[in-house]
A and B are shown apart, each in its own frame.
Chain A
Amino acid sequence: MPSCPALIIDGVCKRFGALRALDEVSFEVEQGEFFGLLGPNGAGKTTLISCMAGLARQDSGHIRVMEHDTVSDYRAARRKLGVVPQELVFDPFFTVRETLRIQSGYFGLGRNDDWMDEILARLDLTAKADVNMRALSGGMKRRVLVAQALVHRPPVIVLDEPTAGVDVELRKGLWVFIRELNRQGHTIVLTTHYLEEAESLCSRIAMLKQGRVVALERTADLLARRVQQTLRLRLGNGASLPAEFLAIARATPDGRIELLLDSADTVADCVARLHAHGVRFDDIELDKPDLEDVFMATMQDVPA
């Protein structure tokens, strides 16, 4: 059986009054992907996640989670989805374990303690299991939110800024755990403002700006194509730059020369041409763009 996409988002629009929070958003996420949903504040990421989860209803368009429409077949769709909300919410009446037991019950699961113990251990919460939610630190509350989203072993896991306020060590631990879930076949959709995180984790990325998808590509392709590569040279003594390179060159304060190249493919060609002119260099380095450069460039390119 060919596997269905984990997530289909098809022409989704959502307005709040005059504001178009989502404007014809369409993309698909395949099963087993680690997918990044990026965008500046107010881009519509949380709104889109709310529509997926049935916390909000889109004005038009359709969303399917593992083939189940989130409106007409909402119960099946919700069973397949685990959401870590962006807001740090908790129920002050209960302990961590009660919180998880209750959440598990809501999904129709009776005895689920083994899995809950494992989640608690993986999120380093075992020692806090019988502590009231009120008595946890912010980072711990955030981890309980992650635990709650995983309690029914959803095939699709959506994390809306799960690492905001979580310390470095736990952030690493969390990613090891989420990666492991991803390897086991869970589809992950991640929203984060830590772009290094997205760069190292996500195999594909969608960027939203003002409710529209402005980029949708494999992370590697985005990094390779979207932004100019910078080739930085220190010319050997006496050498000067051939005229044909002047248009793309600029000097740095420390006496080096930077060549701005359109893509990674042209780097080798450029070096070969310099050699052909007999130019020698003492030092050469390629400044790889990171996701932050791509992000900034993408957001500037797109007219507001």
Chain B
Amino acid sequence: MSVALRTLLYKELLRFWKVSFQTVAAPVLTALLYLLVFAHVLDRQVEVYGGVSYTAFLVPGLVMMSLLQNAFSNSSSSLIQSKVTGNIVFVLLPPISYREFFTAYVVAAVIRGLVVGAGVWLVTLWFVDLPYAQPAWILFFALTGGALLATLGIIAGIWADKFDQLAAFQNFVVMPLTFLSGVFYSIHSLPDFWQAVSHLNPFFYMIDGFRYGFFGQSDVSPWISALVAGGSFAVLAGITLSMLSRGYKLRN
């Protein structure tokens, strides 16, 4: 790893770690509130898979949702802040290649996602005993999902010129896709039409595959989910690298 890449990664990590109350503690608390409210209301009424309580079903979804949202948030807010304040020049002036640039922002965002996801997982250990049927899938989907959202965050951060455009991207793209991905329910409980729509949502596969790692059961095969998540990442990474190499919106 080159010194430039290591430094950019270090800077991105330091950036969120210096305000970890807001970037780590706050999203963990939010996830905990979801858990308390939904689990309290639904635990006794809903059984999703055979032998899996609703609370247990919900926890991996919440962990993954927090991971995804925070990975997105890290790369996108770092870029938009640098652009709006103008200090983006500090990373544009040095001889950092666009691949190093991409790698640093993605890895830092994945780490933020993992830290928040792990935080949610740790606090929810209090409430449920989870099985860990296939830990390799847990890890795979955590990393791929984080990388996918980190990449989407770079695209959004580069595209947006103002904070409210980024907020719009977050509210109208990222939030609906995460909420309608089966975090709070199994899509098998949906009417056919909405099941079909859910299958078009890449977030659904990431949540479903991640959950498979815990319970060994899921709505679709983890291999299909892996293909969709990995394929989506590859497509977005290609788009992002091309944007960066052309200097789209960064070097006008």
Interface residues of A (CB under 8 A from B): 53-57, 74-76, 78-79, 81, 83, 85, 87, 89-94, 98, 102-110, 148, 152
Q: Quick one: closest A residue to B100, CB to CB?
A: A106
B45, CB-defined interface residue at 8 Å: no
Contacting residue for B87 out of A76, A91, A106, A109, CB 8 A = A91
A75, A79, A91: most-surrounded residue (chain B CB, <10 A): A91
A108 near B4 (CB under 8 angstroms)? yes
Interface string of B1-25 (1 = CB under 8 A from A): 0111011101100110011000000
Residues of B within 8 A of A56 (CB): 251-252
B97 near A93 (CB under 8 angstroms)? no
Give 10 nearest A-B pairs by CB, closest first. A105-B7, A106-B94, A75-B95, A89-B86, A78-B95, A108-B3, A89-B87, A91-B87, A79-B95, A102-B11
A-B contact pairs, 21 of them (CB 8 A): A54-B92, A76-B95, A78-B94, A78-B95, A83-B93, A89-B85, A89-B90, A90-B85, A91-B90, A93-B18, A94-B11, A102-B10, A102-B90, A103-B90, A105-B3, A105-B7, A106-B8, A106-B94, A108-B2, A108-B3, A148-B90
Contacting residue for B4 out of A57, A81, A92, A105, CB 8 A = A105
B19, B95, B97: most-surrounded residue (chain A CB, <10 A): B95
Contacting residue for A108 out of B89, B91, B95, CB 8 A = B95
A148→B4 CA distance, assembly (Å): 15
A75→B99 CA distance, assembly (Å): 13
A107 near B89 (CB under 8 angstroms)? no
Q: Quick one: closest B residue to A54, CB to CB?
A: B251
Interface residues in B47-104 by Cβ distance below 8 A to A read 82, 85-87, 89-97
Contacting residue for A53 out of B11, B14, B15, B93, CB 8 A = B93
A103 near B3 (CB under 8 angstroms)? no
A107→B96 CA distance, assembly (Å): 8
A83→B95 CA distance, assembly (Å): 13
- We find that the number of chain B residues with CB closer than 8 angstroms to chain A is 28
Contacting residue for A109 out of B3, B11, B92, CB 8 A = B3
Residues of A within 8 A of B231 (CB): none
Q: Quick one: closest B residue to A88, CB to CB?
A: B86
Give min CB distance, A155 to chain B, whole Å.
Answer: 14
A102 near B7 (CB under 8 angstroms)? yes
A55→B29 CA distance, assembly (Å): 40
Residues of B within 8 A of A74 (CB): 95
Q: Quick one: closest A residue to B94, CB to CB?
A: A106
Contacting residue for A106 out of B86, B96, B252, CB 8 A = B96
B247, CB-defined interface residue at 8 Å: yes
Contacting residue for B93 out of A78, A93, A108, CB 8 A = A78
A31→B97 CA distance, assembly (Å): 27
Residues of B within 8 A of A94 (CB): 11, 14
Residues of A within 8 A of B10 (CB): 102, 105
Known A-B contacts A78-B94, A106-B96, A108-B95; the reply to A92 vs B85 at CB < 8 A is yes
Residues of B within 8 A of A106 (CB): 4, 7-8, 90-91, 94-96
A75 near B11 (CB under 8 angstroms)? no
Contacting residue for A90 out of B87, B91, B92, B252, CB 8 A = B87
Residues of A within 8 A of B8 (CB): 105-106
A107 near B4 (CB under 8 angstroms)? yes
Residues of A within 8 A of B7 (CB): 102, 104-106
Residues of B within 8 A of A83 (CB): 89, 93
